[in-house]
């Protein structure tokens, strides 16, 4: 039976600002998938997009589009990004796919029916941009610990998943399966920081927004983020459908590749959900480090994101992919600089690899008219070269098995450098001067061509373009010569090598010149968190007036809303506002407030609210009403 391998990336939040950091995860997954295919596995590589939630709902509205229409455009953009980096996924799941949504509903219902999901009340602090709930303890200076923005107190009916029930089983699984969470440091972090201190049940539905998978047995609730997002790994395989052959074939996943900040969800929540569903757990969750910039995380709000596309266009896809996998040991954080990229291109790609190819092909061409004679002699230095080649192959196998991409590439480059040294040691240009040494010269050039062929195969999981060009130039285009089996022993290349000269595969760059492009380039304007610019005309459509609170009471059935009677000039209006947690009705009496008076009336809890009170975000994170500075009277126009 064919060996299978199922690898996933996280599903990405739809944003047209995905950057080289996001590409890091996908390039790693793609490289591993290519490697597994090369090793004869039936490999399935899944990626996709995580499209629901309040944030998308809001951003779509800001862009004047229904959420689905908004995400459709972005998903196309993301697919183009992956294609610009030669990412070859087998499946792309969208959480708005019907099959996904139906399966999430089935999962939710099943967990509810078996008692793993129950209805309760959620009270907490919510950060809308991060779509995350926090406890008071988790806040930093009263703000969201992740983005530093204000959080809002929320209290609502919600469904909960009995995460706490699975604490012991997860700890046991991790202890019995040391490979489950990698690298080791992340395993310790999960056990010591989260699992051993104790797990709380998890809020898995919301009523405060609509853009999500509806809970089919309780309208008004939508499935909240993690059940929707995490289950993509099985819904993509048609889990819980009649046509679940893919699920049977590929589940459990061999590896979930994720960035370090979401290991927790994959190593705790996801296993608990799978246990509840009676499904086997993935074999491994690997949490890689971040690509950072000037010591900090790349983020669109800081305006320091690097777009991989112009880099791939200018230096080639191979250069970008090579850099990403080589520069930073997978698992650790690493700084991105243009200088480091350019140095890698010149030193490793142009000097080491590019030179080896042009030297070998150039000499086969020059000394033998492009075709090596069959009479070939071995000699000094061959043994060491062959030993290095075979050693590199087994080292790559070992490193790739542990996702040590950078170490695998370091090993391949040690072999490339050894081959360059072999040229200096055997000195073909000297051999060429003596006709009686022709067989030795042919032997030397054969060894170089064979080394290059092996190198082409070894780098092919990482680099998608140059391997076929290397093989073309050394006359090794036959598909069998690109197979892994052909590199385990030196010498698979037929002796009568037919070389075809070509352009240098990695032209040398003038680094100082190139760097100017980035120094001169204006930094991308930071994306100010907020709404799109509007014209004065737009602004003048809003009518703002000062009002005075004549009466105020709590709205029944909620602890969030106050109903106020507000005098605005000659008229009195009823306005409902979500300020009950910060203001008591007594405190409101007589207050001068700022009112949006031409807002279309809306019904809140059955009360027609005829306007809106303006409030700023107060120091405690709650609303702070705007009142006029100097005695402006009721009805005064604000302009
Ligand atoms: N939607 C969630 C994942 C749900 S999985 C069930 C999410 N999406 S994301 O778009 O924010 O991030 C996707 C992946 O990109 C994550 O693994 C994240 O770690 C990775 N990266 C984002 N920025 C990164 C860097 N600067 N460096 C390396 N990886 C980074 O999280």
Rounded alpha-carbon distances, angstroms, from residue 289 to 22, 258, 261, 389, 467: 11, 9, 9, 30, 28
Q: How far is the CA of 521 from the centre of ligand 1 (A)?
A: 26
Euclidean distance between CA atoms 319 and 326, whole angstroms: 10
CATH architecture of 338-511: Orthogonal Bundle (1.10)
Q: Which residues of the chain have pLDDT under 70?
A: 1, 131, 301, 520-533
Spatial separation of the C-alpha atoms in residues 152 and 206, rounded to whole Å: 14
Rounded-to-integer distance, Cα 512 and Cα 620, Å: 50
Q: How far apart are CA 264 and CA 253, in angstroms?
A: 17
The kind and range of the H/E element at 68 are: helix 67-84
Q: Which atom of ligand 1 is nearest to the CA of 289?
A: 28
Q: Are 9 and 25 in contact (CB under 8 A)?
A: yes
CA distance 403 to 332: 12
Q: Which atom of ligand 1 is nearest to the CA of 15?
A: 10
* Cα 235 to Cα 93: distance, rounded to the nearest angstrom: 8
Quote the CA–CA distance of 393 and 370 in Å, as a whole number: 28
Contact of 603 with 577, CB cutoff 8 Å: no
Nearest CA to 543 out of 614, 628, 461, 602 is that of: 614
Residue 636 makes CB contacts below 8 A (sequence gap 6+) with 545, 546, 628
Whose Cα sits closest to atom 22 in ligand 1? 22
Task: Report strand pairing: 152-161 vs 637-638.
Answer: unpaired
- Pocket of ligand 1, beta carbon within 6 A: 10-13, 21-22, 24-25, 50, 229-230, 258-259, 261-262, 290-291, 297-298
The 3-state secondary structure of 324-339 reads HHHHCCCCCCEECCHH
* C-alpha angle 273-95-259 in degrees, rounded to nearest 5: 65
Ligand 1 atom 28: the closest Cα is on which residue? 290
Fold equal for 338-511 and 536-638: no
Domain 536-638 has CATH 2.40.50.140: yes
Sign of the alpha-carbon torsion through 458, 463, 468, 469: negative
Q: How far is the CA of 80 from the centre of ligand 1 (A)?
A: 18
| Predicted pLDDT at 520 | 57
Q: Under a CB-based contact definition with an 8 Å cutoff, are residues 610 and 571 in contact?
A: no
Residue 310 has a CB neighbour count (10 Å cut-off) of 13
Ligand 1 mutation pick, 14, 15, 18, 21, max ligand atoms within 8 A of CB:
21
Cα separations in angstroms, 478 against 234, 302, 364, 457, 468: 38, 49, 19, 12, 10
CA–CA separation, 326 and 502 (whole Å):
26
Q: Residue 352 region, left (φ>0) first, then alpha (ψ -120 to 50), else beta?
A: alpha
The tokens describing 325, both together, are 């996998």
Q: What is the pLDDT of residue 529?
A: 46
Atom of ligand 1 nearest to the CA of 266: 6
- Centre of ligand 1 to C-alpha 22, Å, is 6
With tokens 């229409």, the residue in question is: 69
CA of 152 relative to ligand 1 center, distance in Å: 24
Q: What residues does 126 pair with on adjacent strands?
A: 133, 152
- Atom of ligand 1 lying closest to residue 258 CA: 17
Q: If you write DSSP's letter for every residue of 1-38 in order, what string do you get?
A: ---EEEEEEEEEP--TT--HHHHHHHHHHHHHHHHHHH
The model's pTM:
0.81
Give me ligand 1 centre to Cα 638, in Å.
44
Among candidates 72, 110, 109, 84, which has minimal Cα distance to 27?
A: 84
Q: Are 593 and 626 in contact (CB under 8 A)?
A: yes
Cα torsion through 322, 326, 327, 331, rounded to 10: 120
Residue 532, pLDDT score: 61
Q: How far is the CA of 267 from the centre of ligand 1 (A)?
A: 15
Instruction: Look up tokens 């997978």; give the residue.
Output: 330
Which pLDDT belongs to residue 608? Answer: 86
Torsion of CA 498, 502, 507, 508, to 10 degrees: 60
Domain extent listing, the chain: 338-511, 536-638
Q: Residue 81 half-sphere exposure, CB side, CA atoms within 13 Å?
A: 25
Pocket test for ligand 1, best of 16, 18, 22, 233 (most atoms within 8 A of CB): 22
* Whether the Cβ atoms of residue 30 and residue 45 lie closer than 8 Å to each other: yes
Q: How many whole angstroms separate alpha carbon 470 and alpha carbon 358?
A: 10
């Amino acid at each position: 039976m064919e060996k299978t391998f199922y690898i996933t990336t996280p599903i990405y939040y739809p944003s047209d600002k995905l950057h080289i950091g996001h590409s890091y995860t996908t390039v790693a997954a793609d490289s591993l998938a290519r490697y597994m295919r090369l090793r004869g596995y039936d490999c399935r590589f899944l990626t996709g997009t995580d499209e629901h939630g309040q944030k998308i709902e809001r951003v779509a509205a800001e862009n004047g589009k229904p959420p689905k229409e908004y995400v459709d455009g972005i998903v196309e953009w993301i697919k183009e990004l992956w294609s610009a980096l030669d990412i070859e996924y087998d499946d792309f799941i969208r959480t708005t796919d019907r099959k996904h949504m139906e399966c999430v509903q089935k999962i939710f219902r099943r967990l509810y029916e078996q008692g793993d999901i129950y209805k309760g009340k959620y009270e907490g602090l919510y950060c809308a941009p991060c779509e995350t709930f926090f406890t008071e303890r988790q806040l930093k200076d009263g703000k969201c610990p992740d983005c530093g923005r204000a959080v809002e107190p929320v209290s609502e009916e919600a469904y909960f998943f009995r995460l706490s029930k699975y604490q012991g089983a997860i700890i046991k699984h991790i202890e019995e399966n040391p490979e489950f969470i990698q690298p080791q440091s992340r395993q310790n972090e999960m056990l010591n920081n989260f699992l051993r201190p104790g797990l709380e049940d998890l809020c898995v539905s919301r009523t405060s927004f609509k853009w999500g998978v509806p809970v089919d047995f309780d309208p008004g609730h939508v499935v909240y983020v993690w059940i929707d997002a995490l289950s993509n790994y099985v819904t993509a395989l048609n889990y819980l459908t009649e046509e679940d052959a893919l699920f049977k074939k590929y589940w459990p996943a061999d590896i979930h590749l994720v960035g370090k900040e979401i290991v927790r969800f994959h190593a705790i929540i996801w296993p608990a959900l799978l246990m509840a569903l009676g499904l086997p757990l993935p074999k491994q969750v690997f949490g890689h480090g971040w690509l950072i910039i000037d010591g900090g995380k790349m983020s669109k709000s800081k305006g320091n994101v690097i777009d991989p596309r112009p880099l791939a266009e200018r230096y080639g896809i191979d250069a970008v992919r090579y850099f990403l996998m080589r520069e930073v040991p997978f698992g650790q954080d690493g700084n991105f600089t243009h200088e480091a990229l350019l140095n890698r291109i010149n030193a490793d790609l142009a000097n080491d690899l590019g030179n080896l190819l042009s030297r070998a092909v150039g000499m086969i061409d020059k000394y033998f008219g492009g075709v090596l004679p069959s009479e070939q002699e071995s000699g000094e230095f061959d043994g060491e070269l062959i030993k290095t080649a075979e050693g590199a192959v087994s080292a790559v196998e070992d490193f790739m098995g542990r996702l040590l991409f950078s170490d695998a590439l370091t090993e391949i480059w040690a072999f490339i450098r050894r081959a360059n040294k072999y040229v200096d040691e055997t000195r073909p240009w000297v051999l060429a001067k003596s006709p009686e040494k022709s067989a030795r010269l042919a032997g030397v050039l054969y060894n170089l061509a064979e080394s290059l062929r092996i190198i082409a195969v070894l780098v092919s999981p990482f680099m998608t373009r140059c391997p076929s060009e290397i093989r073309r130039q050394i006359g090794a285009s036959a598909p069998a010569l690109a197979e892994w089996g052909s590199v385990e022993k030196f010498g698979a290349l037929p002796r009568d090598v037919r070389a075809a000269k070509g352009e240098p595969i990695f032209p040398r760059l003038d680094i100082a010149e190139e760097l100017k492009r980035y120094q001169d380039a204006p930094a991308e304007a930071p994306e100010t968190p907020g709404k799109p610019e509007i014209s004065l005309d737009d602004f003048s459509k809003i009518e703002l007036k000062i009002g005075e609170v004549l009466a105020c009471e709590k709205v029944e059935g909620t602890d969030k809303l106050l109903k106020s009677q507000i005098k605005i000039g000659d008229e009195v209006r009823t306005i409902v506002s979500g300020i009950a947690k910060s203001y008591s009705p007594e405190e409101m009496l007589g207050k001068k407030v700022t009112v949006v008076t031409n807002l279309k009336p809306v019904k809140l809890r059955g009360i027609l609210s005829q306007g809106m009170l303006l409030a700023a975000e107060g120091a405690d994170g709650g609303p702070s009403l705007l009142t006029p500075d100097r005695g402006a009277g009721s009805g005064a126009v604000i302009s």
